[in-house]
């Protein structure tokens, strides 16, 4: 007996089948989510990201008479706040149909380390590969971590953003030249990708608001891509009208002058003064000499800026180990210096919130290396008798 199926019947059958499959998937996902909540577990590495605690930094709070709180982003599974951004960038590309798991597709990014580590971790967890382009003068443990996570690591000489071989530009080129068919090369583009600031708007900021609410008087943090600052400011300022937002900026970065005087310029850019590259500092992860899309999204909400020297950051990190047992990376130390400045400016009794982006574990061969700092001429020794007033 011959079966004859007209086109209309076939179309109805296909649509019905697809609809039933989608309904079943949604039902199973809902059931899985319910089971996770009931049993108290999360689903894979993705589920470990976010919901980090807000801690009172005792020594800084007692020294200033303010409550200085640090959001412990170093407790994310990849060790930094960049886990949030990497997850949203990759997930957004999957939802757009650009990345498909287990096809050999590769996520490319130009980074000084932390974002690359997060991308490498999350890409692996979601069935993709990672190719990370980095300046060749970063802390050695960052390269090692990336390689252990299975990423391809390409080191390049630090050059200006206008150079085609600058690490971000080169990552974009590598992505464009990579793959065919289902095997795609995807440029994460953390500096310009809206998924960056949106993730902080959707997760980090609501967490802070739930943790401290309207008691918060000031938000203090540095900016590299600017995504964290913009995402937090855009969410928190409309809800806390008294909130002041302060930028913490390292040496060599032009953002300080952009916020203060609307001029993108750093003193280290004077002719004959630049030593290494665009942002000449021992601090990694924050500071930049161009305006990114992510920074611009929230720039109008930044009230003031503090310039932080390498010596202040280095000694703050050592002070926090001595007084609190808190072992932080360079950008976190910059944030803490600026948080103290904000506390002194505002006076006792205020609540200051900052981010503790990563720990000192990925800064051992540079920011935490006495030999490196000695060679760079950066004072790093902190006497037992020295307090905050002695170095800042």
Please list the active-site residues: 82
Cα gap 189→300, rounded to integer Å: 23
Cβ-contact 356, 331 below 8 angstroms: no
Cβ-contact 217, 346 below 8 angstroms: yes
382 closest CA partner among 339, 332, 390:
390
Cα→Cα distances 379→62, 80, 250, 323, 388, Å: 25, 27, 16, 19, 15
Burial class from Cβ neighbours inside 10 Å (0-12, 13-18, 19+) for residue 311 reads middle
79 phi/psi in degrees, rounded to 5: 90, 10
Chain CA centroid to CA 98, Å: 23
Q: How many CB atoms lie within 10 A of CB 62?
A: 12
Provide the angle, in degrees to the nearest 10, between the axes of the packed helices 330-346 and 310-324. 90
C-alpha triplet 247, 249, 250: angle, nearest 5°: 165
Task: Show the tokens assigned to 277.
Answer: 């590259």
77 closest CA partner among 125, 128, 110:
125
β-strand partners of 129: 106
């Amino acid at each position: 007996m011959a079966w004859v199926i007209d086109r209309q019947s076939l179309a109805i059958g296909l649509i019905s089948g697809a609809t039933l499959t989608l309904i079943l998937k949604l039902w199973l996902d809902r059931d899985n989510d319910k089971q996770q909540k009931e049993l108290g577990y999360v689903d894979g590495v993705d589920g470990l990201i976010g919901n980090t605690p807000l801690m009172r930094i005792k020594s800084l709070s007692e020294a200033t008479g303010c409550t200085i709180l640090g959001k412990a982003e170093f407790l994310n599974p990849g060790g930094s706040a960049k886990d949030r951004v990497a997850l949203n960038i990759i997930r957004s590309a999957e939802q757009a149909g650009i990345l498909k798991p287990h096809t050999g597709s590769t996520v490319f990014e130009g980074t000084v380390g932390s974002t690359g580590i997060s991308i490498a971790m999350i890409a692996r967890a979601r069935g993709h590969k990672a190719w990370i382009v980095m300046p060749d003068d970063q802390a050695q443990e960052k390269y090692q971590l990336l390689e252990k996570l299975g990423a391809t690591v390409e080191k390049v000489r630090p050059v200006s953003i206008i150079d085609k071989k600058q690490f971000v530009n080169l990552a974009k080129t590598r992505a464009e030249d990579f793959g065919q068919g289902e095997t795609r090369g995807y440029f994460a583009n953390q500096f310009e990708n809206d998924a960056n600031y949106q993730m902080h708007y959707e997760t980090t900021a609501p967490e802070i608001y739930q943790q401290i609410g309207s008691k918060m008087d000031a938000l203090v943090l540095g900016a590299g891509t600017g995504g964290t600052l913009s995402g937090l400011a855009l969410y928190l300022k409309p809800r806390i009208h008294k909130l002041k937002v302060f930028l913490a900026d390292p040496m060599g970065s032009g953002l300080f002058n952009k916020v203060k005087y609307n001029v993108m310029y750093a003193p280290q850019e004077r002719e004959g003064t630049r030593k290494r590259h665009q942002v000449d500092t021992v601090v990694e992860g924050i500071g930049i000499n161009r305006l990114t899309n992510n920074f611009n999204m929230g720039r109008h909400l930044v009230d003031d800026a503090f310039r932080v020297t390498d010596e202040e950051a280095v000694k703050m990190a050592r002070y926090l180990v001595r007084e609190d047992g808190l072992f932080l990376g360079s950008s976190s130390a910059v944030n803490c210096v600026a948080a103290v400045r904000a506390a002194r400016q505002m006076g006792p009794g205020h609540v200051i919130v900052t981010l503790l982006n990563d720990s000192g574990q990925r800064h051992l061969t540079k920011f935490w290396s006495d030999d490196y700092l000695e060679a760079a001429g950066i004072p790093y020794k902190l006497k037992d008798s020295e307090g905050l007033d002695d170095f800042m």
